[in-house]
Amino acid sequence: MTPVSRTARTTDLAPELRRRWAMTVAEARGTKGAEDPDPDPYADNLLARWDEPQRRYHTSHHLADVLHHIDELADCALDLATVQLAAWFHDAVYRPDRSENEERSASLAERALPELGVDAARTAEVARLVRLTITHDPAPEDLDGAVLCDADLAVLAGSPEGYAAYAAAVREEYSFVPDPDFLVGRSAVLRQLLSLPRLFRTPLAYDWWEHIARRNLATELDLLSG
């Protein structure tokens, strides 16, 4: 797995992300209608959201990584364009001190996609997938949900250095939380993840990433406990 380097600048990522956005929108809406707007301003708006100053982990680097992991799991998806659109919107609204981020992100998709010429059924499915990232618990038959959730959690299976950078970025996003409270909360999250029967739902992701992710989570928990 070769996610986007954390040293890459946002300006380096933007052209490729805009290209991908335009291709995904074109695929999602099919034949372009005369009234369908240019997707570029929507890309500008989304990328500006992904690089708001309160973000340290949930940035355009994370978006690029999730899209990359969706590419790796593409054979597991039923509607790849819908999963890709859901990736763009899944953290489009993000404030670390609030709990309604996924709901607000889904609502943003419900407003923006019809304007872009995406049909009602696909818009509803994108919003459903975005809301699914609250729990990362897709039903067994929900193949597109599994692809999105697995791609979003793939960071857990990074190299030791990559995982450490992820954990540090999460701590920075929650810098307003005192150390003792963060320690308790983060440890609870790690224990909850480790208690799951499986972290990854697609066969490919499970084979590639499950063992590595559990090792990384256990290592972080040991470090916090020590």
> Is 0.75 topped by the overall pTM?
yes
- The reported pLDDT for the residue numbered 9 is 46
pLDDT number for residue 79: 98
The model's pLDDT over 164-222, given as tens digits with 9 standing for 90+, comes to 999 999 999 999 999 999 999 999 999 999 999 999 999 999 999 999 999 999 999 99
Q: What's the average model confidence in pLDDT over 138-158? A: 98
**pLDDT of residue 161 exceeding 50:** yes
Q: Per-residue pLDDT for 1 more than 70? A: no
Residue 7 — very low, low, confident or very high, per pLDDT cuts 50/70/90?
Answer: very low
The CA-based diameter of the chain, rounded to the nearest angstrom, is 62
Correct CATH for 10-155 of 3.30.70, 1.10.3210, 2.60.40, 1.10.287:
1.10.3210
Q: What is the mean pLDDT of residues 19-31?
A: 94
Provide the percentage of residues in the chain whose pLDDT is more than 90. Answer: 91
Kindly state the percentage of the chain with pLDDT values over 70: 94
CA atoms of 188 and 214, how far apart (whole Å): 15
Q: What are the tens digits of pLDDT across the range 74-97?
A: 999 999 999 999 999 999 999 999
In this prediction, residues 11-31 reach a mean pLDDT of 92
The confidence band for 5, taking pLDDT boundaries of 50, 70 and 90, is very low
> What pLDDT does 191 receive?
97
The predicted-structure confidence for 45-70, as pLDDT tens digits, reads as follows 999 999 999 999 999 999 999 999 99
Instruction: Answer whether residue 36 shows pLDDT above 90.
Output: no
Mean pLDDT, the chain, rounded, equals 94
pLDDT band at 33 (very low <50, low <70, confident <90, very high): low
DSSP string, 56-105: SSSSHHHHHHHHHHHHHTGGG-S-HHHHHHHHHHTTSS--TT-S-HHHHH
- The domain locations on the chain are 10-155, 156-225
Average pLDDT over residues 123-152: 98
pLDDT attached to residue 135: 95
DSSP state of 37: P
Q: How is residue 138 written in tokens?
A: 């897709």
What gap in Å lies between CA 194 and CA 188, rounded to an integer? 10
